[in-house]
Structure 1
Amino acid sequence: MSKISLEKSGLYLVALVIIYAAIVGTLNFINAPKVGYIDSSILMEKFPSAITARAELNTKAEEWQANTKTLEDELNMMNKEILEESPKWNKKTMAAKQDEFKKKQMEYARYSKAIQKKAAELENELFQPVFTELNNKIKEFGDNQGYEIIFGTLTGGNILFAEEGSNLTDDFLSYTGAI
């Protein structure tokens, strides 16, 4: 083979590789996965079952807060009485009042701890069905809209940049009839 035909063969080979790379690149671009994200905090603000669960939790929390306030008021009154009246009491009365005050403090501490536990349990009980419903609806939405991946994020969360159309929150809420 002559030097010119080798050079032509080499050029054809390079041209073929470039064409192949362009075709593969184009096909990869065309077949790129459809990806988006949903802002979870907005879902929790606007999704109907989440709103209902939050309202129920808030109602119970207000009730517990009122009970806690009553115990706090009782403790404050007892403390005030001890501070103001203790100079008039004998040692036996003083010891009895301090003992009563300590018992009330322990009751308050036990109640506060029990309420925190109940609040966490109630939150889990109320929101687990909401999360299950949301997960099922997001899967259905993704399947119907052709998404391969839908990320969840919180406001100010892990997504640092995304094209405007990547935020699917409003589309999802519209899909579910929430807005």
Structure 2
Amino acid sequence: MKKILSLCAFALVLISCQETTTSKADFKTGYIDTSILLEKYNKFTDANEKFKVKSEEMGRPIQAKAQQLEAEMANFQRAAQVNGEAWAQQKYGELQQRQQALLAEREQILGKIDGEAGKLKDSLVKEVKKYIENYGKKEGYDYIFTTSEMSVNVIYAKESYNLTEKILKKLNEEYKATAEKK
């Protein structure tokens, strides 16, 4: 009886140890350096350039107001000597209020710029992730990992597993084709 139970337990162990998934020979994996992808993908660089121009345009009115305030402050120092202390205190208070309002407006515009930049980057990252997911499915990959300077998920991999340049080339080709259609 003990021998039969031992044989059944041994058979159960053997059966549970059998590989039921793909063998190592069929296993296909790769990785992408997202730092390089973000740096060299033309759609990212074009979007960054467009956004830089837009943020400069958004900041121009604040710069003009700041320059005007600086000029008024320079004039204030000369006029304070002529107009007396009471006038100088009143005018200084007004200039400080305008400076505080200008700083608040500047912070609001910077917040808006940061928000728009975040949305743009998020949408582009989602688009690239979806592309990589579809690429992996189409090419039969089991896993595609990411690595970058800031977040290292792959500490070592053979260079032959690096898909960055392949995917970057395909992304740039597709982006160029869609940009030419527009």
Instruction: Output the TM-score relative to the length of structure 1.
Output: 0.72
Other-structure match for 1:7:
none
Could you say which residue in structure 1 is the equivalent of 2:92?
Answer: 98
For residues 45-56 of structure 1, what are the structure 2 equivalents within 5 Å?
A: 45-56=39-50
Contact 2:59 2:109 in 1 (8 A): no
Residues 124-144 of structure 1 show CA distances to partners (whole Å, capped at 9, x for unaligned) of 332333122111110011112
Q: Does 1:172 align with 2:167?
A: yes
Within a 5 Å distance, the mapping from 1:12-161 to structure 2 comes to 29-31=24-26, 33-155=27-149, 157-158=151-152, 159-161=154-156
Alpha-carbon distance, 1:74 to partner: 2.3
Consecutive aligned runs of 4 or more in structure 1 exceeding 6 Å deviation: none
Between the aligned partners of 2:133 and 2:88, the Cα distance in structure 1 is 66
Q: Distance in 2 between matches of 1:171 and 1:55?
A: 24
Q: Which has the larger Rg?
A: 1
Measure the CA separation in 2 of the matches of 1:85 and 1:36: 71
> Where in structure 1 are there 5+ consecutive unaligned residues?
1-23
What's the RMSD between the two structures over aligned residues? 2.8
Tell me how far apart the structure 2 counterparts of residues 77 and 157 of structure 1 sit (CA, whole Å). Answer: 47
Q: Conserved in 2, the CA contact under 8 Å of 1:141 and 1:175?
A: no
- The 3 A distance-change label for structure 1 pair 157 and 128 is closer
Letter aligned with residue 51 of structure 2: L
Pair 83,114 (structure 1): closer, same or farther in 2 beyond 3 Å: same
The runs of 5 or more residues in structure 2 that have no matched partner are: 1-18, 177-182
Partner of 2:158: 163
Q: Distance in 2 between matches of 1:131 and 1:156?
A: 16
Identity %: 23
* TM-score, with structure 2 as normaliser: 0.71
| CA distance in 2: counterparts of 1:141 and 1:104, whole angstroms | 55
Cα deviation for residue 160 of structure 1 reads 3.3
Superposed displacement of residue 98, structure 1: 0.8
